[in-house]
Structure 1
């Protein structure tokens, strides 16, 4: 009886060699020992680690408890959690409280706790032992009676406003905005004695720039140079939100243009004061008053017309009246009493982000509060950095950046996006915590969006199912025929598609290109798919994606390594490099137009008049033949023919025979007579009928997509 019990579950340390014979009469001591060691080494190991409940009872009372079998593999699995009460355990194992109290006597014999149904068991090992005694397996689950806690917001947030005594004066941040080619960059070059405009591709600004200018008075002003091209709306909007004053540059010869109106709207939405610089006054025949009246029509009333907006006529090219413009800026800044707290945690905004082939990930940050120093840990959007290097727009390394200072930051683990808010945190651990929380929030938002799509597809599927079921019921005993073989159920998408991959030098340029591609609305003829985008040069990963999707790679102001070019050429993947955005868009339009299916057009070859109809014998039957003369162009044997009588079409088809002087020919030239026999032998021709010879040719269409510039 005790044979299986001892050899299966009784720990080896509880069996002395002197007591082997009293348990087993039919086996020797050595055979029992071998059997225990061979089959139940787990019990030996467990006994070496800790004494079992049976051993405790045996040593304390001298009585052996009832032998308990551990739960088998097929036993019921119940859920347990921390700090369970006796009543909770009884409910999960479906036993009464008395049964659990008896099990606790063996599981926690050495404890002095007097258990009752409301006693909380803090030791999770005791709970597990009770489950084993009751013959159940277990799994860890959350407490069902405890309300699910809402995830604590672990995101980084701006600090509370600083007290007035901590605020110090700061330089103004001025954003220069206006229409393309109105002289914004030339004006800034004149203020800081540089020649940035000579380095711009196509003569237009395609990046947002941030730099500091020291005025002759000793004051500093931070300028933001925004692109004026229609493609860079997001950059202009971002500059308007990060500035204190907007300098609206208007060319005196062009006046108010489309992007000028857009800049006025953005400045008003950001609640930023406007200062107008009427540029190009050195050109002959300009009318400054007319420009002011045009501005007044859009809500910008200058002081000369009785308003409160300063308007300074300047010539950036001749550097005329620049001192007056600087004085107006200084006066506007003094009136605004701009102040910020240079202490405390850093706050700012990402002006631009890029991936430099030499220095790696870097982002231009405009500090708005606090002082950014080397070693600071900052977070912005989906990226964070421990600041390693701070450089100015001129390339000089600095140790710190006070408020209103734009600096390029190196040390990013992940590159942020332009426009992201920059916040300083205590440590790298805190930065990782913020990134994890933001990632989880993005996943939840994506899941919510996917759920809406899934629900819409489920609703469509249910509607289709109910319609099919109603049709089946209406047919009665007749069954619906299958629509076709199962192989035809999965059909290949043959719709013309242009797949593109966009790589740019900075995040703002990629953003502008993506904004343009989103305006595409000719999907009925050719579908435009953006399969990948990013900042930095073309990589082997881009080549693999392009190969999978048969995509075209557009590289804007970035290069591709030689080995990548070789791999792309080997796989026949086009890499198109551009440094002017509208030329890139034109190429996309050309690629779309190439993929538009060809349509057939009629091309008139010639015309002929019917002179008389003849009946000729062919075999045993008579067929009509039209005696005709070619009046225009020529007639071809393999072309198509249309017969018109009194402006009515009576035949449209092919020829069966074309003869000239009883000889079969392939072409009849102008003013030649011929006999034409058509495939329709029942056709009756009359003198004066017009025969039109034509052919079908493939014609290409252009996309009607208009990106707005």
Structure 2
């Protein structure tokens, strides 16, 4: 079949009536007026994809067919005869030569108008990124220096405080010992006379648990017993042996005599020595004499959420080994330094005969609640928070694009929303805040978080696709959060649209339209053409009026974190949604286990508002670290309270993690031993650009574990891959996954020298698919991206033909003109495309090697800056092994 043919010839070749072929072309979005029109190869491929989707074949099959249509294979045969001399006779042999060659067809070129529109779109995208990056580079060095100085000051202050506390404790202990020694060495005459009679009575009574007096009639001791022999008379002071006690009263002399007799009881022949105090007698005599308790002591032990075995033993006044032994009898294997949870500690405490009391260690949290509850004004009306939810490629982001009049999906990898986007827009119906959630199955937690933050959920369903798995999941999230639902039936302008089918499918999910007597508003829209958008905004406004949404606009702000990331220039950046009060620059706030002072506020357009009221999402700079998505934040009076709350929360979280990793039960150990060594462990180190992607990747990959292989995420975080991440991967033999981030130079050296498996991804589908194939034991080939060269941009020149031309030095590998490239800025991907020109001096070249200067023109991207890196890579097929 030729490269171009008419509709009539195509119908004859595929044995289909012309009228039916015209209907199929119209269904695929291509309208032809007559059978004599020419059909190009691109239109044939589009028709083939439409027919495969209509017959239920997966999208992957369509892509494979598209790739196959770009290739042509030629088979050739050549026959000839060869004469062979076999001795005296000659033999003729027929030889057939077969050749098979595959050629790639030239890609169809875009029309000038399409090419211009594509260039304008990419220029708008680069301009939008420029605005964000200029604000980021302004405070890069200052914030970094302030963070270093603040950290050092905190370390010095903590060290001085610890030394002062230690010194004070030592002085108190010395003072206490000195007081006890002074009380013990004080003469008996100086004691109150009122204590003489009780002391004499106690001295006459034998000490509890002490040795008893010899029975009556026992034989006297031997006179040659050197241990009990009294001192020689020459060593005694002159006069009577009681001369040293003549100044004492009779009661005091009786008490001292009885005390000496008690101390010498059981040692016949011994005599008290005048002027000398028996050290053993001082412990069991006097008003502070020790008496063994007659009944077991029952203590009330205060236990928090977790406690170490050593601390529990100290509260029980027992040795640590006894508590460890009791835990072992209960089936819990733990050492003295491990932490155990509250329930386990309560059981072992009751087993040892003591009473458990819940420890009240939330004093700082109570102070926080008291501080935040002081200032509350009058509630006023606030804008509604609307979450856009639905399946992949059903038009969620396109709907927001039309409302906001900007392009968002073009900046996402593969046109798929990877993060939660937060925007507030001015509409004819008033201010509305929108949250755009991803539709992929791995972002379940992000969609659930979006449903909990919102007032109204707009469920987008494609009229030509119907109800899909993520559509059902979004309905469940909205119901669990008890949030009203509005259904937007999108893509009604397409030829295969059937809104009634969507309404019937939603009936099976108990979502009943108002047309069918239900209470769910369903609006038919077209996000591309703008049809029905006003009706949708009207439905949102009506629903918001019914809810009577109100919030306190004055006072200290509180809200929740929607998304967070680590920017190399600006530091930790958190996108928050204010729910109460007004958030202003300079406020102190505590956010999960992080705290800080608001240094700057940014809205979705990059502007810096003075404050943010209820239902307004903003980006916050100035936190001590990257908070987790979904954490609550609250503004406090001073930094001291914020720091105390954050530190206490961090301590609790660390203790809970220690409890989870400590104290294995013997049943679990025996079960592990019973399985043998058949289960393999795949360790992963995950780094991503935002916190939401980290959570989604970790949950999705850990969920792939089965009986044969276990996926273990040993470390995850936000930002580029650092030297610490590389060392963690080397120590645990883990695979490093970079999602929209890259490794720095020091991390690459460690990874290359130790042979660590490092993989870069920009779409979550690829991450899950590759890990899923390894975990499922599927062998085959995988498409892997291999970096073949890196060029540093030294300067940028302007060309009338190619736009911005980057003067580069090749620092690694080789850069080829026909290979795809990425532009990196601060180890983060900012553009992915291809080269438009590669020149060495004034000549066009196909490749440039390491250590060579060259000029590079990036196609459809004019935002290259000095200091950027251009990464050249190729996709190769690598055999998959476990």
Per the normalisation by structure 1, the TM-score is 0.58
Match of 2:405 in 1: 193
Q: Report deviation, 1:544.
A: 0.7
* In structure 2, distance between residues paired with 1:585 and 1:146: 50
Q: Deviation at 1:447?
A: 5.0
More displaced stretch, 514-523 vs 365-374: 514-523
Report if the CA contact (8 A) 2:417-2:438 is conserved.
Answer: yes
Question: Displacement of 1:242 after TM fit?
Answer: 0.3
Aligned to 2:756: 573
Distance 1:578 1:701 in 2: 17
CA contact (8 A) 1:537 1:560 kept: yes
Alignment of 1:429-448 (within 5 A): 429-448=640-659
Distance 1:229 1:565 in 2: 31
Q: Deviations over 1:430-477 (max 9, x none)?
A: 12221232233334434544565245468889x99xxxxxxxxxxxxx
Task: Give the aligned partner of residue 561 of structure 2.
Answer: 350
Q: 1:182 aligns with which of 376, 382, 394?
A: 394
1:359 equivalenced with 2:570 (yes/no):
yes
- Paired position in structure 2 for 1:548: 731
- Residue 530 of structure 1 corresponds to 713
Which aligned pairs between 1:162-181 and structure 2 lie closer than 5 A? 166-181=378-393
Alignment of 1:422 with 2:628, yes or no, is no
Q: Is the 8 A contact 1:355 1:361 kept in 2?
A: yes
Question: Cα gap change, 1:95/1:377 in structure 2, threshold over 3 Å: closer, same or farther?
Answer: farther
- Give the 3 Å change call, closer, same or farther, for CA 443–499 of structure 1 in structure 2: closer
- Structural mapping, 1:188-587, within 5 Å: 188-217=400-429, 219-450=430-661, 453-454=664-665, 456=667, 496-524=680-708, 526-587=709-770
**1:113-148 deviation per Cα after TM superposition (whole angstroms, max 9, x unaligned):** xxxxxxxxxxxxxxxxxxxxxxxxxxxx98999997
Q: Secondary structure at the match of 1:315?
A: coil
Cα 1:155–1:246 change in 2 (3 A) is farther
Q: Give CA deviations for 1:344-378 in whole Å, capped at 9, x if unaligned.
A: 33221110111112211111110111111122222
Is this contact kept in 1: 2:592–2:628, CA < 8 A?
yes
The reply on whether 1:588 has 2:588 as its aligned counterpart is: no
Name the structure 1 match of 2:54. Answer: none
Q: What's the RMSD between the two structures over aligned residues? A: 3.9
User: 2 CA distance for matches of 1:400 and 1:448?
Assistant: 42
Structure 2 residue matching 1:191: 3-state secondary structure: helix
Matches within 5 A, 1:79-118: 94-98=283-287
CA contact (8 A) 2:727 2:750 kept: no
CA distance change for structure 1 residues 701 and 507 in 2, over 3 Å: closer, same or farther? closer
Q: Distance in 2 between matches of 1:458 and 1:201?
A: 44
Q: Secondary structure at the match of 1:438?
A: helix
Correspondent of 1:151 among 360, 384, 391: 360
Contact 2:773/2:779 (CA < 8 Å) preserved in 1?
Answer: no
Distance 1:265 1:430 in 2: 39
CA contact (8 A) 2:705 2:775 kept: no
- Per the TM alignment, residue 343 of structure 1 is displaced from its structure 2 partner at its CA by 2.4
Deviations 1:462-495 (A, max 9, x none): x99xxxxxxxxxxxxxxxxxxxxxxxxxxx9796
Could you list the per-position Cα deviations for residues 177-196 of structure 1 after superposition, in whole angstroms to 9, with x for gaps in the alignment? 01110000000000010011
Shift of residue 341, structure 1, vs aligned partner: 0.7
> Which of 579-588 and 219-228 deviates more?
579-588
Tell me the CA shift for residue 405 of structure 1: 0.8
Residue 236 of structure 1: how far off its partner (Å): 0.5
How many Å apart are 1:231 and its aligned residue?
1.3
What is the SS of the residue equivalent to 1:232?
helix
Q: Note closer, same or farther for the CA distance 1:702–1:425 as it changes in structure 2 (3 Å cut).
A: same
What residue is the counterpart of 1:660 in the other structure? none
Measured in 1, the distance between the counterparts of 2:518 and 2:678 equals: 61
Contact 2:375 2:556 in 1 (8 A): no
Q: Distance in 2 between matches of 1:146 and 1:574?
A: 53
Report the CA distance shift for 1:511/1:294 in structure 2 as closer, same or farther (over 3 A): same
User: Is contact 2:377–2:554 with CA below 8 Å preserved after alignment?
Assistant: no
Q: Distance in 2 between matches of 1:195 and 1:169?
A: 30
Contact 2:579–2:614, Cα closer than 8 Å, also in 1: yes
Cα distance change, pair 381–596 in 1 and its aligned pair in 2 (3 A) = farther
Contact residue 253 and residue 287 of structure 1 kept, 8 A: yes
Structure 2 match to 1:627 = none
**Aligned-partner SS, 1:532:** strand
Check whether the contact 1:496–1:596 (CA below 8 A) recurs between aligned residues.
no
Partners of 1:584 and 1:276 lie apart in 2 by 31
Question: Structure 2 vs 1, CA of residues 280 and 95 (structure 1 numbering), >3 Å: closer, same or farther?
Answer: same
Deviations, residues 193-212 of structure 1 (Å, cap 9, x unaligned): 00111112112111111111
Figure out how many residues of one structure are paired with residues of the other and give that number: 457
**1:177·1:236 contact (CA, 8 Å) conserved in 2?**
yes
Which structure has the greater CA radius of gyration? 1
Q: CA deviation at 1:527?
A: 3.9
Measure how far apart 1:518 and its partner are: 2.0
* In structure 1, distance between residues paired with 2:394 and 2:669: 54
Relative distance call for 1:290 and 1:342 in structure 2 (3 A) is same
Indicate the SS of the match to 1:367.
strand
> Structure 2 vs 1, CA of residues 322 and 547 (structure 1 numbering), >3 Å: closer, same or farther?
same
Which range is displaced more, 287-296 or 365-374? 287-296
Pair 595,404 (structure 1): closer, same or farther in 2 beyond 3 Å: same
Q: 1:191 to 1:162 in 2, by over 3 A?
A: farther
CA distance in 1, matches of 2:656, 2:680: 32
Quote how far apart the aligned CAs of 1:94 are. Answer: 4.7
Contact conserved, 2:721 with 2:738, CA < 8 A, in 1? Answer: yes
SS in 1 for 2:518: coil
Q: Please give the secondary structure, in 1, of the residue aligned with 2:397.
A: helix
C-alpha distance 702-390 of structure 1, shift in aligned 2 (>3 A): same
Query: Would the aligned equivalents of 2:563 and 2:575 in 1 still touch at CA under 8 Å?
Result: yes
* 1:564-643 pair list within 5 angstroms: 564-592=747-775
Does the 8 Å CA contact 1:345/1:424 hold for their aligned counterparts? yes
Contact 1:496 1:595 in 2 (8 A): no
- Once residues 746 and 413 of structure 2 are traced to their aligned partners in structure 1, the CA distance between those partners, rounded to angstroms, is 27
What secondary structure does 2:621 align onto?
Answer: strand
TM (norm. structure 2) is: 0.47
Q: Sort the Cα spacing of 1:518 and 1:286 in 2 relative to 1 into closer, same or farther, 3 A.
A: same
Give the Cα separation in 2 of the matches to 1:265 and 1:155: 37
Query: Aligned-pair distance for 1:294?
Result: 1.4
User: 2:203 aligns to what?
Assistant: none
Task: Give the distance between the partners of 1:407 and 1:277, measured in 2 at CA.
Answer: 27
